[in-house]
């Protein structure tokens, strides 16, 4: 069994690295790290893929920080998965043209699955990532303000025929809390949909959490706050990637 891939997260508001707690803009912590410098530091320790969320874009329903995406793409060889405010095909083109390898789509996919299915067919499941935010098994949209009756399983099932192969599932109640991930949730999803790569998001607090997820057969994990709070160091990530 291969080890789980660690994908560091960078969340952006007004061009700066931040972390939110449970998606609440009022519970925002700003970090001094320059976004591009942070990306370079991740690349230097062996990371190949980073997760970048344009929180200004998510709030305004239109990508807002694409110049930063361009700078990351020009300054590194990282594969960037980019989300936040992608509500139209025009926005999707802009994100890809700015240097993203993967585009994360959340609310549109949940509210208009037929539109996201079209994008999956057009751009390919290898580039389109479903961002599913979940509270007690149900999908949440609009910055986690509204819970739908749709379950994560129903959403994934409906998109499989169009080529869905990548899902980032964020457990809202764990996000930014540093209390550990919902291992059972992700293990069940990965077991049910073997052909889909699920990325664990929310609650990672230590390398022990990552080891547990890896042992359970999960394939990818996003780590954000734990890095900024020094619960997980860049050296820890480097050791993991070097199999030390």
Residues serving a catalytic function are 11, 133
Task: Give the distance from CA 243 to its chain's centroid.
Answer: 24
Closest among 145, 146, 116 to 131, alpha carbons compared: 116
Tell me how far apart the alpha carbons of residues 20 and 182 are, in angstroms, rounded to a whole number: 19
Q: Is 136 exposed, middle or buried (0-12, 13-18, 19+ CB in 10 A)?
A: exposed
> To the nearest 5 percent, what fractions of the chain are helix, strand and coil?
40, 30, 35
Question: Tokens 């320790």 belong to which residue?
Answer: 45
Closest among 59, 79, 61 to 18, alpha carbons compared: 59
């Amino acid at each position: 069994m291969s080890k789980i891939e660690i994908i560091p997260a960078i969340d952006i508001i007004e061009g700066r690295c931040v972390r939110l707690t449970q998606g609440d803009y009022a519970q925002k912590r700003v970090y001094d790290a320059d976004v591009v410098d942070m990306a370079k530091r991740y690349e230097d320790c062996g990371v190949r893929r980073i997760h970048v969320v344009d929180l200004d874009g998510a709030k305004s329903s239109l990508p807002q920080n694409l110049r930063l995406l361009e700078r990351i793409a020009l300054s590194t060889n990282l594969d960037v998965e980019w989300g936040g405010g992608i509500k139209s095909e025009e926005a999707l083109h802009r994100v890809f043209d700015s240097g993203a390898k993967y585009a994360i789509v959340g609310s549109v996919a949940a509210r208009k699955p037929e539109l996201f299915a079209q994008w999956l067919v057009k751009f390919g499941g290898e580039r389109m990532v479903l961002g599913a935010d979940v509270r007690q098994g149900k999908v949440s949209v609009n910055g986690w303000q509204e819970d739908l009756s749709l379950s994560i399983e129903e959403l994934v099932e409906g998109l499989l025929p169009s080529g869905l192969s990548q899902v980032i599932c964020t457990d809202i109640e764990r996000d930014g809390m540093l209390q550990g991930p919902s291992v059972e949730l992700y293990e069940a999803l990965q077991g049910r949909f073997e052909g889909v790569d699920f990325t664990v998001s929310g609650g990672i607090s230590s390398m022990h959490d990552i080891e547990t997820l890896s042992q359970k057969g999960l394939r990818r994990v996003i780590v954000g706050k734990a890095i900024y709070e020094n619960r997980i160091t860049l050296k820890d990530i480097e050791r993991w990637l070097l199999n030390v």
